[in-house]
Amino acid sequence: MGAMRFWETIKNSVYSPEFYRTLRGKNLSFSLKYFFSFAAVVAVVTASVVSFRIIPQAQFAFTVLGTKVTSYFPEELEIVIAEGEASVNVAEPYLVKTPDDFLQSTSTAKYENLFVADTVSPLSVDVFRSYSTLVLLTKHDFMVSGNHGEVRVYPLEGIPDMKINKKSVTNFVGDFMPLLKFLGPIIAILSFLFFMGYASVQLIYLFFGALLVWALLWLKGIKVGYREAYRTGIHAMTLGVLVYSLSFIIPMHIAVPFLFTILMLIVVAVNCKKEEGEHTELSEMPPVSSAS
């Protein structure tokens, strides 16, 4: 499929009754080849724009976070995790106050403490909230406050044995910083795979969506099989994929429920028309004469 023909197919998949009429004579492989090519182009464009916006922010955030973690980790604190249990070398509860510059952030300003270690008290949401902390380390778990006030509990069971102190944190950050040069390509590749995957998953969704396309075509008097409805849906999804990709590029929040399905059915309704003189009922077919 040449470049000009490919772009023409994208345009026709959004609107061209003539294209959808001739589509009935093509193989399913034509539509699948088109959709995967289309999905790849959309993924490259969307991933490029999103990565261009995210990569500088991510690199800055990791650099600043690494510096702050090293700077604010207490000199005297050492955390030991062994066989799924945590212990500390300081009197408990041990509180790390939220630094002044962290108080300028809306995500941490509401917490009096950034970290609390209490491996003596039993696991309790009430105990967690009483400390007004972002993170609480207990004997068998660590608890984290979510963005909307929920409390998430992560068991220490299964975590490799380790010793965490200022020296180990400093060494880890020092080893991690040179890897930041790979952060950009990693984000770009993951973004491409995400958007490519999102578009490709729609082919699975279409196993169910094609039933709606099939029903709509029959209501319009176009009597086709499920396979033909599926092929029609492949092209009719073009507009929905473009709209959702655009929502990542701008970015914007799409609050309309089932918008993807609605757009697909609108494309089908606008483009698929019964041909003049087309037979729509099996009873309309002329009888087959029998040999005398």
Question: Which pLDDT score is estimated for 48?
Answer: 92
* Selected residue with higher pLDDT from 69 and 214: 214
20 and 120 co-located in one domain = no
Given a cut of 90, whether residue 173 has pLDDT beyond it is: no
In total, how many domains does the chain have? 2
Domain contains 286: no
Question: Which pLDDT score is estimated for 287?
Answer: 44
Domain contains 71: yes
Given a cut of 80, whether residue 59 has pLDDT beyond it is: no
Average pLDDT of span 180-198: 89
134 and 239 co-located in one domain = no
159 and 212 co-located in one domain = no
Lowest-pLDDT choice from 182-191, 196-205, 232-241, 272-281: 272-281
157 and 174 co-located in one domain = yes
Question: Which pLDDT score is estimated for 286?
Answer: 42
149 and 67 co-located in one domain = yes
Given a cut of 50, whether residue 26 has pLDDT beyond it is: yes
77 and 160 co-located in one domain = yes
Please tell me the distance from the alpha carbon of residue 32 to that of residue 235, in angstroms, as a whole number.
9
**Over pLDDT 70: what percentage of the chain?**
89
* Selected residue with higher pLDDT from 81 and 276: 81
Task: Give the domain range for residue 31.
Answer: 3-47+184-275
Average pLDDT of span 39-54: 91
117 and 147 co-located in one domain = yes
User: Coil, strand, or helix at residue 208?
Assistant: helix
Strand-by-strand arrangement of the 162-165 sheet: 85-88, 78-82, 162-165
Question: Which pLDDT score is estimated for 192?
Answer: 94
97 and 196 co-located in one domain = no
Question: pLDDT tier at 290 (50, 70, 90 boundaries)?
Answer: very low
Domain contains 284: no
167 and 85 co-located in one domain = yes
60 and 165 co-located in one domain = yes
Domain contains 285: no
Please tell me the distance from the alpha carbon of residue 130 to that of residue 220, in angstroms, as a whole number.
64
Domain contains 290: no
- What pLDDT, in 10s, does the model give residues 100-133? 766 555 555 578 888 999 999 888 888 888 998 8
Domain contains 280: no
Question: pLDDT tier at 11 (50, 70, 90 boundaries)?
Answer: very high
Domain contains 81: yes
174 and 188 co-located in one domain = no
67 and 136 co-located in one domain = yes
- Evaluate whether 121 touches 127 at the Cβ level (below 8 Å): yes
CA atoms within 13 Å, Cβ hemisphere of 19: 21
Question: Which pLDDT score is estimated for 104?
Answer: 59
Domain contains 208: yes
Please tell me the distance from the alpha carbon of residue 39 to that of residue 200, in angstroms, as a whole number.
7
Q: What's the token pair of residue 14?
A: 């959004």
Its pTM stands at: 0.65
Averaged pLDDT score across all residues of the chain: 86
Question: Which pLDDT score is estimated for 108?
Answer: 57
Please tell me the distance from the alpha carbon of residue 226 to that of residue 215, in angstroms, as a whole number.
9
